Amino acid sequence: MKELSVFIDESGDFGKYKPHSPFYIVTLVFHDQSVDISANINHLDSRLYQEGLSKKPVHTGPLIRREYEYEHLSLLERKRLFNSLYNFVRTTNISYKSFIVEKRTISEEVGLHIHLSKQFTLFFNENMDRLVQYDHIIVYYDYGQRELTHVIVSLFSVFFSNVQFKRVAPEQYKLFQAADMLCTLELLSLKAERKTLSKSELTFFTSQKNLFKSYLRAIYKKRIM
């Protein structure tokens, strides 16, 4: 039986537009369960064990900004953690799709959930031939935002009769952490285009050019267009 796993994470919230948070991004990471990625996971676990984070998830945004549990880490240590997860994402046989909404373009009459629903619908219609090949689809989300949970459950249920939903915690699945990283990288890509990268982001990646050359260029190859 062919099974597809879909791991979902988001960046932003359903609140009104704010200059410091102009985008809402939802990323879906797809993994065909017939493809064994255990070696990739074991390698990442080994790398995280060496860094003292074997039982903790990597939260990409706070890691870059040196927030919360990463306050005590040096720039070099944070880069090692970032690169460990990044190399897992880059080398593992997965693909992803990000839905992006620029919040200042949303009117009060047409909410964020409508914009997201339209993007999900278009994507499902354009990729239906690929998706219907699977006997079973399992969607993993942490139910962190009620509005997004409603969009996810409603639309997957409309388009697929063979779908199951699982509530997860970040530490349970490396592919959920991969979705978090891909959300962050897509946000960084948007900020780089607009030359609005923060001081902490430029410090972490050295320069906008290095961000694209060393990280974004390889990740773009995994996008589903």
Which residue is associated with the tokens 């260029």? Answer: 217
Closest CA to 24 of 140, 190, 205, 159: 190
Provide the pLDDT for residue 225: 85
Residue 225 forms part of a structural domain: no
Q: Given pLDDT bands bounded at 50, 70 and 90, which one contains residue 20?
A: confident
Q: Given pLDDT bands bounded at 50, 70 and 90, which one contains residue 107?
A: confident
Q: What is the DSSP letter of 216?
A: I
Residue 168 forms part of a structural domain: yes
H-helix or E-strand containing 193? Answer: helix 174-193
Say how far apart CA 134 and CA 185 lie, in whole Å.
29
Residue 42 forms part of a structural domain: yes
Provide the pLDDT for residue 110: 64
Provide the pLDDT for residue 17: 85
Residue 155 forms part of a structural domain: yes
Domain count, the chain: 1
**Predicted confidence (pLDDT) per residue in 63-76, tens digit:** 999 998 899 999 99
**Domain with 47 in it:** 3-220
Which residue is associated with the tokens 């961000």? Answer: 211
Residue 39 forms part of a structural domain: yes
Provide the pLDDT for residue 108: 63
CATH code, 36: 3.30.420
- Residue 167 scores a pLDDT above 80: yes
The two tokens of residue 129 are 């031939």
**Predicted confidence (pLDDT) per residue in 181-203, tens digit:** 999 999 999 999 999 999 999 99
- Residue 214 scores a pLDDT above 70: yes
Looking at every residue in the chain, the average pLDDT score rounds to 94
Closest CA to 117 of 99, 131, 134: 99
Q: Given pLDDT bands bounded at 50, 70 and 90, which one contains residue 43?
A: very high
- Residue 54 scores a pLDDT above 90: no
